[in-house]
Structure 1
Amino acid sequence: TAEQARAAIDAGARFLVTPGLRPEVAAVAAAAGIPFSLGAMTPTEVAQALDLGSAAVKIFPARQLGPAYLKDLQGPYPGIRLLPSGGIDASNAKSYLDAGAAAVCCGTSVVPPSAVAAGDWADISARAAAFTATLA
């Protein structure tokens, strides 16, 4: 929400990411000079995110259409910076990068809620190292 965006910026956030189109978040971020990435799935939503000034468009949930969808979007939107999220893990992250993703968002496969709750930072660090090793 706009309120969450303001709070994040006040707390020192240097960028914002949303799961879907949030024009009010885009307005807050733009006014503060903070880059943002709005979430989208359809080509129409991608166009709206770009029109709102999204520095990159978060494709969510990416798992639903797979890496080939990124290539499809690059036809009508050449040069677009895409950030797939949702269902990205060590087994498929490289395929999204190979399909043109600027970066990938990885969630619970690297940072499972149970590991966070337990404060198991060694496990999270090991998962992150294993994940990034698959990208080389």
Structure 2
Amino acid sequence: MLSTIKKEKIIAILRNIPSDKVVDLVEAISLQGINVLEVSFMDEESFCQIEKIKKHFGSKMTIGAGTVLSVESAKKAMDIGSDFLFAPSSDRQVLDYCAKNSIKFIPGVFTPSDVSLCLSYGYKLLKLFPANVFPLNYIKSLKGPFPTTEYIAVGGVNGDNYNDFLSSGFVGVGIGSSLFPKELIAKGDWHAISKNIARYQI
């Protein structure tokens, strides 16, 4: 998973997207060269969206299930074919389940204690959340005592600052509504969405 993130840099985060628009949105995202998605688990509709995206795009896209907060959600996500799991936190039960089942899991961290817990389960690729509340050199401080760790910035990342995060040592960034504003999704203006995404040049 680390090699994929290092190559792709941007994870597009889909949250509360209408199901009848999700395939068109992912098509617009894909046309601009973004090939890694997180579909946040908010309700049963999210599971259906992952299945729909996987069916339509196959192996062309790497599809992760996000906001995985319980073992039950982790099981459901893997049952429907998610390529990886993403979480905003480092829940011990979820870490244990994923480690025992060799699941590609990117847990969320906020403190050195969170990082230490994730490492104890073998997870070194971590999501710093919310990334925008820290100075950009925060992960440099974390990598001092934890040199094997790598970080993805999520939370407050947008077109104005995403390169700052990448230049500061983050291997990737997760970006949501600033990539595809909800008003453009509501209009079905996929051309405008593609044009907006094109601003993000890696």
TM-score, length basis structure 2: 0.60
Q: SS in structure 2 opposite 1:67?
A: coil
Aligned twin of 1:67:
136
Shift of 1:8: 0.8
Amino acid at match of 1:69: Y
| CA shift in 2, pair 1:52/1:111, >3 Å | farther
Point out where structure 2 has 5 or more consecutive residues left out of the alignment. 1-69
Which structure's residues are more often strand, by fraction? Answer: 2
Structure 2 CA distance for aligned equivalents of residues 126 and 35 of structure 1: 32
Structure 2 CA distance for aligned equivalents of residues 125 and 60 of structure 1: 27
Aligned twin of 1:107:
176
1:90 to 151, 159, 163: 159
Alignment of 1:12-31 (within 5 A): 12-31=81-100
1:46-79 deviation digits (Å, cap 9, x = unpaired): 1112222224110000000131112111111113
Aligned twin of 1:3:
72
Aligned-pair identity in percent equals 33
Shift of 1:117: 4.3
Aligned twin of 2:121:
52
2:192 to 119, 123, 134: 123
Instruction: List 4+ stretches of structure 1 deviating above 4 A.
Output: none
Structure 2 CA distance for aligned equivalents of residues 120 and 32 of structure 1: 41
Aligned twin of 2:48:
none
Amino acid at match of 2:132: R
Aligned pair count?
Answer: 133
Alpha-carbon RMSD across the aligned residues, in angstroms, is 1.8
Mean Cα displacement is larger for which, 62-71 or 119-128? 119-128
Point out where structure 1 has 5 or more consecutive residues left out of the alignment. none
Alignment of 1:26-37 (within 5 A): 26-37=95-106
Task: Between the two structures, name the one with larger relative contact order (CA 8 Å, sep ≥ 6).
Answer: 2
